Structure 1
Amino acid sequence: MKLYSSVLSPYARKVRAAIHALGLQDRVEIINVNISASPAEVVNANPLCKIPTLLGDDGTAMYDSRVIIEYLGVVAGSDMLVPAAGMARCMVLRTQALGDGIADAAILYRGLLAAGIAPDAGPAVRQMAAVERGLAALERMARESAPDAVARPDAGALSVGCALGFLDARFAELGWTGQYPALAEWYARLCRVDCMRRSASQDTAGTCPSGASYR
C-alpha cells in the first residue's frame, strides 16, 4: 500500500499513527508530496487532490483520513481504533470529529489571516472561538477519563492528539496547556505512546507536535 502524506498535515499524521498502532508499518510505503503542485499520482487516486490518500494493494484508493483509518482496520482485521458497532463506535467517531474539527478551524483561521483577514474580523473570530470551545470540551473529557485511557488510543484519541500537536506547532501563542491542565496532562501521556512517537518522527521538528494541511 502507498500513503500519500505530508509532514505538515495533522490528518496525515493521524493516519501514520494508525498505521503503527495497527502494526501495518511494513505494509505501507509513506510518500510525502507537495499537494500544492497537484501531483499526478494523487490526482489519479483522489479527484479532490487532498492528503492523506491511501492506495491499496489492489489499486483501490481511500480518502479522507477517517475513511482510511476504517479501511486500515479492515486490512488489519482489527477494530481497536474504531469499534465495530454500538455506542462505543459512536463515541469514538464523535471524538474523532471533534479533533478533526479543531484542526479544521485552526487551519481555516490561518488561511483567513494569510488572505489578509484581520484576527478580530468576524470570520476569523468564529474559527478561533470554535477552537477554544473544542479545547474546553476536551478539558472536560480529560477530567473524566481514566489515567490509563491513552495506553491503547483509538481513532478519537489519535485525532485529538494530532490536532493538539498542530496547535503546539502553529499556535504557540495560545498557551493552551496552561489553560487546560487536565487536557495537557492527557496529551503528555499520549505523546509517550509508541504510535504517536513514531508518527512524530516523520515530522520536520522530530517531536510530538506536528503541522497542518488537508484532511
Structure 2
Amino acid sequence: MAALIRLRGVTKRYGEGEAAFDALKGIDLDVEAGDFLAVMGPSGSGKSTAMNILGCLDVPTSGRFLFRGHAVEALGRDERALLRRRYLGFVFQGFNLLSRTTALENVELPLLYRGEGRRERRAAAMAALHHVGLAPWADHTPAELSGGQQQRVAIARAIVTRPDVLLADEPTGNLDSERSVEIMGLLTRLNAESGITVLMVTHEPEMASYARTLVHFRDGLVERVEGRA
C-alpha cells in the first residue's frame, strides 16, 4: 500500500509566552492508503489535535503534512477547505444531523455545498443510504430514528462524496453495545469493500480491536504504533 498521509516533525502550539502550551511536540506518522487506523490515548495526549490537523480543520505550528505527496501545511484556508470537500469525510460522536430535515436531505448536504444538481444529489444520497442499509428510512427525520440509525445516516453523509479518507471521532461514544458493534461492522465493511481509509479516535479497546493499526498518543507524542495481521 502507498503512503497516503505522512506527518513529519509536526508540532502544535497554542498561546504565547508563559501561557504557551505544546499540544503536539513533533510527531511522525504514516497512514497507508486503505488502512483502518485507531487513534488512542488519555485526555490531553494530543490525539484530537492530530486528528484536527489530519482533517485539515487546523494547521501545524511546524513540521510537514503531506497528503498524496502534496504539502498541506503550505495551503491557504480555501485550499484546505477544497481538500476537505473532495477527499475527506467526517463522522462525529454527536451525529450532527439537521433535526428538521429528512435522512435523505441530511445526506445530500455535502453535494449541495459542491453545487451539484438536485437530481444528481438525490441519486447519490439514496445510493449512500442504501449502502448503510437505511434506504427505507430516507424520508424520516432524526427524531424518528434510533441512535444507531442516526449514526448510519451520518456515515452515509460522510461517504456520499466518495472520500479517500473517513475521519471518525468517537463514532460509538453515544451508542449502546449492540449499536456500537453494528456501526463498527459498517465501518469495517466500508474499509474492506470500498477501500476507504478510516482514521478513528476511540477510548474503547473493544472498538479499537476492529482496526488494523493502533496508534497510541501520550503527552503530545506518538508513543507507539501497533500493526495487526
The TM-score with structure 2 as length reference comes to 0.33
Which is strand-richer, 1 or 2?
2
Which is helix-richer, 1 or 2?
1
**Rg (Cα) greater in structure:** 2
The TM-score with structure 1 as length reference comes to 0.35
